[in-house]
Structure 1
Amino acid sequence: MKRLSSMFLVCSALALFSFAPAKKKKVIFFGDSITQAGVGPEGYITQMKTMLPADGYDLIGAGIGGNKVYDLYLRMEDDVLNKHPDIVVIYIGVNDVWHKTSHGTGTDLDKFEKFYRALIKKITANGAKLILCTPAVIGEKKDGENAQDADLTKFSDVIRKISTDTKLPLCDLRKLFMDYNLQHNTENKEKGSLTSDGVHLTKEGNAMVAKNLAEIIAKQ
């Protein structure tokens, strides 16, 4: 009888364990005002919640307007490491280029790469998987006609190289947005297609980011 009781308890425990809900993967989106807006009603993080299983992922925005790569490095411990995420999406670079003309600041390319690689090293050591993103656009005109296209492409090339070196997945938003505007921006407007002001995303721009990031996250 005691043996039967013990077997019953073991089977019951195994049954409860098998029906226990799987732990959600915690995903932190680490970036600037584009990510800050990503948690809004039409933001890319909000839209992504309809693309990924609700019981499988906990999507957390950690974007602050005006941030550059070194701002992310300075707040990484509080906003990322201490929260012990399973996946971190790094989406930064626009302000590192844009602020050179808009604010007289910005980030030198070599320093951008050093801070970016330092972010990866710290976050990886904390146990999280990483997804990298290139910055999309500063102006939506085609064929390199935006004032900061050349610089933004250089910064994107650095992120592509880091992705190759580290074998980390890349969401190449720069290429996606440029390809889209080449095909659809027939009037060659600076804004109004995927962005509201040349930088910050419209509902359609957010949808493009959400769709492509969700596909990568689902594979992690």
Structure 2
Amino acid sequence: MNKLILFTLFIAAMFVLSAYRSDRKKKILFFGDSITELGVKPNGYIRVIEDIIRNEDKSSQYELIGKGIGGNKVYDLFLRMEEDVLKLQPQIVVIYIGVNDIWHKSMMGTGTDYDKFGTFYQAIVNKLKAAGIQVVLCTPAVIGERYDGTNPQDGELNHYSNWIRKYASDNSLPLVDLRAAFLNYSKAHNPNNQDAKILTYDRVHLNDIGNKLVAEQMWEKLKTIK
């Protein structure tokens, strides 16, 4: 009889625990630079994702957190992981970095060399995975919106984006290929091949249409993660 009671209590406890877990919101943290910092503003891509989630009647299932700081490069993300990510215990982290690693080379003489970019990127992912966090990778989108390869940083953007694509493939990690999505959009909606005012307001930072595109691309991937 005692064994039966203990077994019944065990089953009841497991049921309560599973119900508690299913009721918890899935915490998604967006980790990046000024694009993500602006993503929490009205009409920012994180706010747009929240709108999509609300429209799909899934607000009770998700909590979104933006942790972007203007000017950040990949090594800045690595240095602030403990305070801005790990202590918050997210279930999913979206890494959206790379623009400043390239852009600041020509703007300020700083930036991140290609080999060091990969080293820091892998270190971030390894730390997140060690904490049991699911990781979603993003390619950097644009530094200039011309679709014909004539933006000054196009070569490096493609180079760094290819590294992220290969790393995602080699490690079976979800990828949001914003670089490809922005180029495809520009080819279809930028007949004058202008370098801004299509998806960005200054060649880099997102306007309302750009925020919507990023939100849709990210949500398509995020909603498949269990």
TM-score (norm 1): 0.91
SS class of match (1:100): helix
Q: Which moved more, 1:18-27 or 1:116-125?
A: 18-27
Q: Distance in 2 between matches of 1:93 and 1:134?
A: 7
Quote the sequence identity (%).
52
Deviations 1:111-132 (A, max 9, x none): 0000000000000101110000
* Structure 1 residue 19, shift from structure 2 partner: 7.3
AA in 2 matched with 1:87: I
Match runs of 1:53-68 below 5 Å: 53-68=58-73
Deviations 1:20-40 (A, max 9, x none): 671000110000000000000
| Residue in structure 2 matched with residue 128 of structure 1 by the alignment | 133
* Structure 1 residue 207, shift from structure 2 partner: 0.4
SS class of match (2:184): helix
Structure 2: runs of 5+ lacking an equivalent: none
Indicate which of 173, 190, 212 corresponds to 1:168.
173
Moved over 3 A (4+): 16-21
Deviations 1:50-87 (A, max 9, x none): 21221010000000000000000000111011111100
Deviations 1:163-183 (A, max 9, x none): 011100000000000011011
Q: Distance in 2 between matches of 1:43 and 1:50?
A: 11
Q: Does 1:39 align with 2:35?
A: no
SS class of match (2:150): coil
Indicate which of 95, 99, 106 corresponds to 2:100.
95
Q: Distance in 1 between matches of 2:190 and 2:107?
A: 25
Q: Does 1:218 align with 2:223?
A: yes
Return closer, same or farther for 1:19/1:126 CA change in 2, 3 Å cut-off.
Answer: closer
Q: Distance in 2 between matches of 1:138 and 1:33?
A: 13
Return closer, same or farther for 1:98/1:54 CA change in 2, 3 Å cut-off.
Answer: same
Indicate which of 88, 91, 110 corresponds to 2:115.
110
Q: Does 1:69 align with 2:74?
A: yes
| Residue in structure 2 matched with residue 84 of structure 1 by the alignment | 89
Q: Distance in 2 between matches of 1:19 and 1:138?
A: 46
TM-score (norm 2): 0.89
AA in 2 matched with 1:47: V
| Residue in structure 2 matched with residue 137 of structure 1 by the alignment | 142
Q: Does 1:29 align with 2:30?
A: yes
Q: Distance in 2 between matches of 1:23 and 1:134?
A: 30
Q: Distance in 2 between matches of 1:218 and 1:178?
A: 24
Indicate which of 187, 206, 225 corresponds to 1:182.
187
AA in 1 matched with 2:40: V
